[in-house]
Structure 1
Amino acid sequence: MKIPVLKTLLCCAILGLGGCASSQVDPSQYSGFLKDYSRLKPAESATGAPVMRWIDPDLKPGQYTRIYIEPSQFYPKPQPTAVISAQTLQSITRYFDTALRRELGKDLTLAQGPGPDTLVVRPAITAVSTSTEGLKPYEVIPIALVAAAVNTAAGGRDQNVEIATEAAFLDADSNRVLAQVVRKGAGKPLENDKTQLALEDVKPVLDGWATDMRMSFEKLRAAK
């Protein structure tokens, strides 16, 4: 089974939200979390993963010295299933928040809320499918955690796990959107369609997204 703060932070990280993305998110899979999808264009993240993104051409990265990371959320609100429990859903958003603070806090001052010279990160986890073919628009539950429901005659077949994100970066003073991104990645396959999804199955993707944000910011800072 097979499974790019600020312009680069926004370019790659949001933009680069890393992990093992299998392909670009199709417009039919957009969740509605972002206010305007019309400006998104195909691009590559810092790690070479395909993303859909937009960056304000008037963005001035140097004016931001602090970053406020809003609590990540599922959008739309998910419903637990036999494979994806409410506890797992909660652990995923909590861990994503921790990973973002851990990585971005290495280069930017973490703010407790919006304020002067502050960049706001607004992340969400979105979309879902129950097919081995990949993400499909909201087939079962409205989140990007996927457990394929296909079995073989020999028994349970490995179940694909995919996770997608949509994120916006805003100026804290004006609330102006500076950048947006949509992307997805692949988690650890589940043994079969009865196997419970666990945080460990998607941790590498969440870590990759957060690390990619930091790497993108560092590249931008080094170029200045």
Structure 2
Amino acid sequence: MKDNQLIYGIRAVLEAISANQPINKIFIQKGLKGDLFKELESTIRKSGLSASYVPIEKLNRITRNNHQGVVAQISPVQFQDFETMVEKILSEEKMPFFLLLDQVSDVRNFGAIIRTAECCGVNGIIVPKNGSAPITDDTVKTSAGAAFNVPIAKVDHLKDALFYLQSSGISITAATEKAENDIYSIAFDQPTAIIMGSEEKGISPSILGMVDHQAKLPLLGKIGSLNVSVACGVFLYEVVRQRQG
């Protein structure tokens, strides 16, 4: 991690949270005590931020500065407020196009997905606060800078985001190999959101139970799955193909 992406010290991290800085993750030294530390823990919980308790040796590797037992990693990209982002897109676009990612945790896959999403005209990307890949320098590099062009929102729970989108007239299609129908049987000539899951776990069953459509990609070879960024590209470009046809 680069020092210009780090905030260190309990008070400095508290101030960063208060100022709504785009924090990817907070690293806290194991065994830390004191009233100020308790205030930090409480603030992290209320803010829904991700925190890890680590040995002091890891913090010393992250930064040579006086970290006082706490280091926060700052995202190079400012995240959007979910509802504000959605309402703005709905007011500006006749055929809004969203992408949701359920537990996609690899930063390079995330970057590649953002790049493809930007090329396909996706209006907004939605990810959960917990379990999602952070936006790092590697993410931005892999996205070829597209991370600065596509609005990205973090939400506490994807279920709430799905409900909000559906109540706003957005049809949700989940990419899953468990589907009976393939992607080419789904009509995308309507306000649409595509949801992709992680390569390891796919989309969680509770999310699959909420979507409007489930679709799979036909796989004609011996390998049973595609890299998530490649699969995402196929799904997004099918939306583009239908809308341009």
Q: Shared topology, TM-score over 0.5?
A: no
Normalising by structure 2, we get a TM-score of 0.26
Structure (1 or 2) with the larger CA radius of gyration: 2
Higher relative contact order (CA 8 A, sep 6+): 1
Normalising by structure 1, we get a TM-score of 0.28
The answer to which structure has the higher helix fraction is: 2
